[in-house]
Amino acid sequence: MDMKNRVMAIVALLLMVVCSAQADTYNIKRTQTFKSGETLKCNFYFNWNFIWIKVGEASLTIRDTIYNGQKAKCMKLLSSTNKKADSFFRMRDTLMTVFTDDYKPIYYRKASVEGKKYRLRQVWYSYLDASRVKVAQYSRYNDEAPIYKEEVFDGPIYDMMSLLAYARTLDFTSLKKGTRLTFNVASGKKVEKQHLVYRGKKKTKSDDGHEYDCFRVSLITEEDGDEEEIVNFHVTDDRNHLPILLDLVLNFGSAKARLSHMSGVMYPVTAVVD
């Protein structure tokens, strides 16, 4: 996974926080953890020469919507680097997913600007029957010819955002330390396999001045049989499963993302320690 995709993993995983064709077969208990009107914000930092530098911010909103006449939820993520970081790594990203009340994705869109580079990726889902899903993917880079393809899959398939919405509903208290879940995700360009490993509990500080009891989880990517652990993230040990911290290892150093503000959360935040 390149630097660009790792940065997006920081932002998206922090602001939501999993589930594949296999995940439902584990019979993991699930719970409703968010509602329309929730807004989460975070700061993210890079470490160069042992110094942590704030390089940007991100916000995520969840709202009720109507898509093609169907009631659904729309999750939108906006992220950008600050002026200090723009001089060496400029990023402006918008990610959006629309999914049903039972977390089936309907549409996904990711538009990113990085310097003079522009990328657009889209995914459309058509449910053919109880098990088969037709996935249409569209990808465009700058002025190059777009790439479009359709494939049919057995079992659930998600994009990054709808996957994370579903994942946030998992009951982590029902998982044993070391539990590993596998899932498939469409990026708008291809479908790839990823894994989630539950690592146990830990107290974690956020950028809102508080410390929280958290569940700790690792995300592992897989490509051509090779696996790589790219991020460790922490979500609150309460009914909200709010993401508090991500630790990410990059080729040139490390990065962190910390939750800085929350509003419109569904339940009282009982995981706060201080």
| The two three-digit tokens of residue 105, written as one number | 């994705």
What is the mean predicted confidence (pLDDT) over 103-132?
Answer: 92
Least confident of 17-21, 57-61, 193-197: 17-21
What is the mean predicted confidence (pLDDT) over 69-81?
Answer: 92
Q: Does the structure show a pLDDT above 60 at 63?
A: yes
Residue 259 DSSP symbol: E
Question: Looking at the domain assignment, is residue 216 inside a domain?
Answer: yes
Least confident of 25-29, 127-131, 144-148, 183-187: 25-29
Segments forming the whole domain that contains residue 105? 3-263
Q: Does the structure show a pLDDT above 70 at 170?
A: yes
Question: Looking at the domain assignment, is residue 271 inside a domain?
Answer: no
Between 138 and 13, the higher pLDDT residue = 138
- Write the pLDDT tens digit of every residue in 221-269: 788 888 888 788 899 999 999 989 988 766 556 788 899 999 999 999 9
Between 13 and 257, the higher pLDDT residue = 257
Question: Looking at the domain assignment, is residue 150 inside a domain?
Answer: yes
Say how far apart CA 14 and CA 200 lie, in whole Å.
17
Give the model's pLDDT for residue 21.
36
Q: Does the structure show a pLDDT above 70 at 13?
A: no
* Number of domains, the chain: 1
Least confident of 18-27, 53-62, 153-162, 241-250: 18-27
Q: What is the DSSP string of 92-156?
A: EEEEEEEE-TT--EEEEEEEEEETTEEEEEEEEEEE-SSSEEEEEEEEEETTSPPEEEEEEEES-
Give the model's pLDDT for residue 3.
56
Question: Looking at the domain assignment, is residue 189 inside a domain?
Answer: yes
Chain centroid, CA 240 distance in Å = 16
Least confident of 143-157, 196-210, 231-245, 250-264: 250-264
Assign 18 a pLDDT band (cuts: 50, 70, 90): very low
Range 55-86 burial, b when 16+ CB lie within 10 A, else e:
bbbbbbbbeeeeeeeeebbbbbbbbbbeeebe
Q: Does the structure show a pLDDT above 50 at 25?
A: no
Average pLDDT, the chain: 85
Q: Does the structure show a pLDDT above 90 at 74?
A: yes
Give, in degrees to the nearest 5, the angle at Cα 128 between 127 and 133. 55
The closest of 159, 157, 154, 153 to 138, measured between CA atoms, is: 159
What is the mean predicted confidence (pLDDT) over 105-126?
Answer: 93
Question: Looking at the domain assignment, is residue 274 inside a domain?
Answer: no
- This prediction has a pTM of 0.81
Question: Looking at the domain assignment, is residue 273 inside a domain?
Answer: no
Between 199 and 8, the higher pLDDT residue = 199
Give the model's pLDDT for residue 161.
85
Give the model's pLDDT for residue 5.
57
